[in-house]
Amino acid sequence: MPDNKMGVMPVKKLIVSMSLPMMVSMLVQALYNVVDSIFVARLSMDALTAVTLAFPMQNLMIALGAGTGVGVNALLSRSLGEKKQDRADAAACNGVFLAGCSAVLFFLIGAVASGPFIRTQTADAQIAAYGTTYLSIVAMCSVGLFFQVMLERLLQSTGRTFYSMISQMTGAIINIILDPVMIFGLLGCPAFGVAGAAYATVIGQCVAAVTGLFLNLRKNDDVHLRMAHILRPDKEVIGQIFFVGVPSILMMSIGSLMTYLLNRILGSFGAVTGAVAIAVFGAYFKLQSFFFMPVFGLNNGLIPVLAFNYGARKKERMKEALTFSLMLAIAVMATGTVVMELFPAGLLSLFADEGTNPDNYRAMMEMGIPALRRIAIHFPIAALCIIMGSIFQALSKSYYSLVISIMRQLVALIPAAYLLARTGDVGNVWWAFLIAETVSLVFSLVFFRRVYKTTVEVMPDSVST
């Protein structure tokens, strides 16, 4: 078997080749999320608010799919580094099985819980109706999402990030094309409104999943997907996947809880101010993805590199990969801070139409401009935390990431937001993000130092491949 590029390619070139396709594909992913919200916002601010209220449940689906993928990624990459092909194949087949189980689970959740979930966040009947319609569709039709995420993870785990990019970009482009067609009823299609945004999303996910399956079967020689193995799950392998994956699932699920609670805190400012605040928060969440998504793409490219070289006992390559990735991440996030500080009005104007509703536009600008400027201060700090967290996932120590996530989002951000909301000024709530990220940085530094000294520094460096 030829040497895997993750063990022999120059590290900087390797990180760029592994991460750049995922960074590009995640930028496209961010673009279609933004485009989705831009079109929905053209319906009304109520529609944008409703989609924001659906986000915590959507994020929970992504958390389950991506967190399970982290467990598969770590086991598969480590097995390939140790040259254990059977174990790598078992990780891949059991990962596909778990994706199917996740789709069944959220079909049931979407059917019975969409309406009650939305109504816990708003008393406005129109917003609740929009949110229930949107969420029930994306949850009950989540099969594309779960298989897309898992099949892309298999490509990423084996270094085929270019093909992963093709899969993700295909789904994103389909979504972007279908959004205006299905929302506004173009080209002879019925005007579905908010439901059209949901339909466009799930169709794009299904196309991406089919593309990912084709690429794994035809282009991924490092794993072998066999239906007989997929339908016969291995409890031991699933246990190993979830040992790494569950902390990641919980860590990302905490983001869903944080968003849900923050929506409720913002909603407490009243029907008018609360709705505008939630819309601003939704706009921010879409915009920040342009900078966070590339860093997460970099992180996803870094994890298999670290895991492979840990399995191959190549300490110096791990050090170089971490240092280079950290510099790239800080550069990306610092750019995000500069953009949001200089151009907040232009960014927010994407989500409010001055011509059709000048009152909503004015309210969005008055609240949103200072909000973006205050929140964006924490971006470079977040870059440090994200890249340091990659070593926890690569070395099967994801519980550290879980602790950090709990401290940042539940112990720091939500209490800080609640106390700042008690001042009666919604603008003060946005400072909670900087407070929470500072707490995250302290814990990240402590845990990173512990893991690095006890696991990486003591490992003898090997030049064998």
Residues ≥6 apart with Cβ < 8 Å to 201: 36, 138, 175
User: Which comes out higher in pLDDT, residue 79 or 380?
Assistant: 380
195, 200, 202, 204 alpha-carbon torsion, rounded to 10°: 180
Q: What is the pLDDT of residue 131?
A: 93
Q: What is the pLDDT of residue 275?
A: 85
Q: Which of 81-90, 317-326, 387-396 has the highest mean pLDDT?
A: 317-326
461 assigned to some structural domain: no
Q: What is the pLDDT of residue 43?
A: 85
CA distances to 22, 37, 279, 374, 405 from 371, rounded to whole Å, are 29, 18, 12, 5, 23
How high does pLDDT run on average in the chain?
A: 86
Q: Is the pLDDT of residue 4 over 70?
A: no
Residues counted in the chain: 465
Instruction: Using the CB atoms, write b or e for 168-179: b if 16+ within 10 Å.
Output: bbbbbbbbbebb
Residues ≥6 apart with Cβ < 8 Å to 290: 27, 30, 31, 34, 336
User: Which comes out higher in pLDDT, residue 378 or 163?
Assistant: 378
Helix (H) or strand (E) holding 124: none
465 assigned to some structural domain: no
Q: What is the pLDDT of residue 352?
A: 79
Per-residue model confidence as pLDDT tens digits over 339-357: 999 999 999 988 877 666 7
d(CA 167, CA 164): 5
Residue for token digits 């909503």? 360
CA angle at 143 for the pair 38 and 186, rounded to the nearest 5°: 35
User: Which comes out higher in pLDDT, residue 399 or 139?
Assistant: 139
d(CA 294, CA 383): 11
User: Which pLDDT band, with edges at 50, 70 and 90, does 5 fall under?
Assistant: low
Q: What is the pLDDT of residue 462?
A: 57
Q: What is the pLDDT of residue 86?
A: 79
d(CA 178, CA 30): 16
Q: Is the pLDDT of residue 31 over 80?
A: no
Asked which of 164-168, 170-174, 209-213, 343-347 is least confident by mean pLDDT, the reply is 164-168
1 assigned to some structural domain: no
Domain that holds residue 437: 8-456
Q: What is the pLDDT of residue 375?
A: 95
Q: Is the pLDDT of residue 189 over 50?
A: yes
CA distances to 53, 118, 264, 363, 364 from 273, rounded to whole Å, are 15, 19, 12, 9, 10
Q: Which of 285, 256, 222 is nearest to 67 (CA)?
A: 256
Q: What is the pLDDT of residue 8?
A: 66
Per-residue model confidence as pLDDT tens digits over 67-121: 898 888 778 877 777 777 877 888 888 988 999 999 999 999 999 999 999 999 8
Q: What is the pLDDT of residue 403?
A: 85
User: Which pLDDT band, with edges at 50, 70 and 90, does 29 fall under?
Assistant: low
Q: What is the pLDDT of residue 3?
A: 56
Q: Which of 209, 301, 288 is nearest to 255 (CA)?
A: 288
384 assigned to some structural domain: yes
Check residue 188 and give left, alpha or beta (phi > 0: left; psi -120 to 50: alpha): left
Q: Which of 119, 89, 108, 340 is nearest to 237 (CA)?
A: 89
Residue for token digits 């929970």? 60
d(CA 60, CA 53): 13
User: Which comes out higher in pLDDT, residue 3 or 126?
Assistant: 126
d(CA 457, CA 447): 14
53 assigned to some structural domain: yes
8 A C-beta contact, residue 347 and residue 287: yes
Q: Is the pLDDT of residue 235 over 60?
A: yes
DSSP 237-261: HHHHHHHHHHHHHHHHHHHHHHHHH
Q: Which of 365, 359, 295 is nearest to 15 (CA)?
A: 295
Q: Is the pLDDT of residue 1 over 70?
A: no
User: Which comes out higher in pLDDT, residue 94 or 397?
Assistant: 94
Per-residue model confidence as pLDDT tens digits over 407-443: 888 899 999 999 999 999 999 999 999 999 999 999 9
Question: How many domains are there within the chain?
Answer: 1
Q: What is the pLDDT of residue 117?
A: 94
